[in-house]
Structure 1
Amino acid sequence: MRKYIYLFAFGFLFFSCDKKSKIEREVEKIPVTMKVIRFEQAFFNATPQELPMVKAQYPDFFPAAIADAAWIEKMQNPQWRELYQEVEKKYKNFDTQHSEIEDLFKHIKYYFPTIKLPQIYTAIGEMDYLNKAIYANDKLVIALELYLGKDHKFYSEFPAYLRQNFEQRQMLPDIVSSLSYRIVPVSKNKDLLTLMINSGKELYLKDILLPDYTDAERIGYTENHIKWCKENESYMWEYFVSNKLLYSSDSKLPNRFINLAPFSKFYLEIDNETPGRVGQWVGWQIVRSYMQNNEVSVIQLLKADPTEIFEKSKYKPKSNE
């Protein structure tokens, strides 16, 4: 009997790997060519006299309300120039990242054939950690100053939970997050379950678009954070259910369990041990369960109502060990 179990397990594993390889083989056939435009190099290598030419070439990067004097000051400011030099040290050659982004968009085109390929623009901004990568219509703008490595001296004033994702490896997950804002429908309901499952949809996109990434990289956790969530999954679920939070629209809930934060707020002694955004992680598990238990496409998943997803997911949190 044990022999047959092993054979079944091996056959299932082989089938799963073969299925994945078939998708990857199809992905590899998709032609994707994307142009990279290095705006930060054009800007910081220009002289003040050449500013009008740079503005004419990149009009979208120069709001009309900002006077030329401000741009010239930025060109010549020692701190901005130091930041530019640090970015150049790491990304003067962008070929590897260019290839990775093209591979990502091959996966995107496989699942979403009508998606328009954008031009890639690299830039240096104001360290806006909420907009590290912006995908909009025909442009993909990447703020390189936020991918220098979590221990870089320029990040000393950022809290650790933000710094941990200022890594080059987070560039592609951030691009998928920006893409999700455009293709995941916005739900009218604002209850916790809806917010959790909408986050789960975004994270499921990272499952299929970034198959070589770990769960920790996809969600922006450490491996210890992932371990904590797995070990406490049923405890978290019991807390949400027993406190009747799933269908609550309490305005405090997003900051407690969904939004960027150093830890989640159960209002318990263990709070400091928790990662932030645990509601996103639980929503991710619900969406994964839904996709495992229902024959639906990715596009159907994105359009599905969060309540329907939950009801059909057959989600059952793993027992506490």
Structure 2
Amino acid sequence: MCILFIAFLQFSCKTDQRKEADTSNIRFELVSKNLDEELFSCKSVEEVQKFLDSHPYLAQVYFTDAPVEPAKLAAHLFTILQNPDLQAFRAQLDSVIGDRKIRILNPLTDAFKQIKAYYPGFPVPEVQFIITGFTGSDLYISDSLIIVGLDYFGGPAARYRPNVYDYQLRRYQREYIVPSIVFFESNKYNRMNPDDKSLLSDMIGYGKGYEFVKQIMPQTPDSLIIGYSDSDLRKTYNSQTDIWAYFIASKLLYEKSDLKKRKFIDDRPFTTEIGNKVPGAIGRWVGWRIVSRFMVENPDVSLTELMEIDNAGRILQESGYKGQTDED
């Protein structure tokens, strides 16, 4: 499964129409645990093993890609814990991440209240924090549990960074944690037509997910939702007429070849087929533009109704989107 808030010039007048739901009557306690405190308090391999035994789900869902076999995981973790560099890294993370309640849990609670306002049956998961020197994954999310690997989200000033491509590193900052979780939560409500294998269907699917995050967290900069830099967002917004023209001229919307679709949906540094200044996953961004325009043209459609629409062609047609900016 594989966020400093950046001020982003909101090009779209549609943003002003996204208002938070009334959550004054929604009450719940977001349960959280700091597993890193338990883990770093271990003084031997045996104590690390007891930690793992007391949290057996970690081996099953969080350490699935660990560089050692399960029988050697405790020894591997203990060796890492004893490393002074990792201890210094953890101290730095505490400073960069800041108060976990204020920086992560409170905004996550607000977001979950918004989701429950639309979907009262939404199960509020427990949130756990851990630091393992990148032995585990960045995020694990299920209906009942969220595990945040804080070592991944130290940002550009961190002593160590995750082993990903340079263009992906921007998203590994504290500010991306909550929007990423909310986007994942949108999946359970995002109805899609399983028989529609077109690129347009994939684009609209992502677009609905991003719109879900924007409706749930309307004050969140678009850069934190889709993962583009401010510069890329500005350039892409201003170039969308040409980008759309390429999609139409190349007859991409109803393309069903996975190999061809991936060029416009997958995370890449650039969409070289259109130009080296066009960011990767441009199909996702265009899909969001279509969905966003659809919501403007259909103001009576609620978020829950939008998520139920599984007809990508209908959303495109009723959006009236033809690559135009909002001012056109």
Query: Normalising TM by the smaller chain, what interval?
Result: 0.7 to 0.9
Please show how residues 59-208 of structure 1 align to structure 2 within 5 Å.
Answer: 59-63=56-60, 66-77=69-80, 78=83, 81=87, 83-91=89-97, 93-96=99-102, 97-124=104-131, 127=134, 132-155=138-161, 158-188=164-194, 189-208=196-215
Structure 2 length normalisation: TM-score?
Answer: 0.81
Equivalent residue number for residue 291 of structure 1: 295
Q: Deviations over 1:280-319 (max 9, x none)?
A: 1110011111122223222221121212212222223216
Structure 2 CA distance for partners of 1:38 and 1:112, relative to 1, 3 Å: same
* Residues 186 and 278 of structure 1, relative CA distance in 2, 3 Å threshold: same
The answer on whether the counterparts of 1:204 and 1:284 sit within 8 Å (CA) in structure 2 is: yes
Q: Deviations over 1:183-228 (max 9, x none)?
A: 3234422211111100101110111111111112211111111111
* Post-superposition offset of 1:156: 7.9
Distance 1:300 1:73 in 2: 49
Contact residue 86 and residue 133 of structure 2 kept, 8 A: no
Percent identity between the two aligned chains: 21
TM-score, with length taken from structure 1: 0.83
Determine if the alignment matches structure 1 residue 272 to structure 2 residue 276: yes
Question: Which region of structure 1 is more displaced relative to structure 2, 78-87 or 106-115?
Answer: 78-87
Report the Cα offset of residue 142 of structure 1. Answer: 1.3
Please provide the CA RMSD for this pair.
2.8
Task: Provide the C-alpha distance between the structure 1 equivalents of 2:140 and 2:114, rounded to a whole number of angstroms.
Answer: 18
Shift of 1:116: 0.4
Structure 2, gaps ≥5 residues long: 1-12
Q: Sort the Cα spacing of 1:165 and 1:224 in 2 relative to 1 into closer, same or farther, 3 A.
A: same
* Deviation of 1:159 (Å): 3.0
TM-fit CA distance, 1:157: 5.5
Match of 1:53 among 50, 54, 57: 50
| 1:303 alignment partner AA | E
Q: Tell me the distance in 2 between the aligned counterparts of 1:191 and 1:217.
A: 27
Residue by residue over 1:122-141, the C-alpha shift from the partner in whole angstroms, topping out at 9 and shown as x without a partner, is 12357599x63332111111
Report the structure number with the largest CA radius of gyration.
1
Tell me whether 1:300 sits opposite 2:296 in the alignment.
no
Q: How many residues matched?
A: 299
Change over 3 Å in CA distance of 1:74–1:83 after alignment to 2: farther
Q: Is the 8 A contact 1:134 1:175 kept in 2?
A: no
Quote how far apart the aligned CAs of 1:61 are: 0.6
Long gaps (5+) in structure 1: 1-12
Q: What CA deviation, in whole Å up to 9, does each residue of 1:37-72 have, x standing for no partner? A: 112221222232323432343110124994444212
**Greater Cα offset, 140-149 or 67-76:** 67-76
Is the Cα–Cα contact under 8 Å of residues 133 and 178 in structure 1 kept in the other structure? no
**Is the counterpart of residue 215 in structure 1 residue 225 in structure 2?**
no
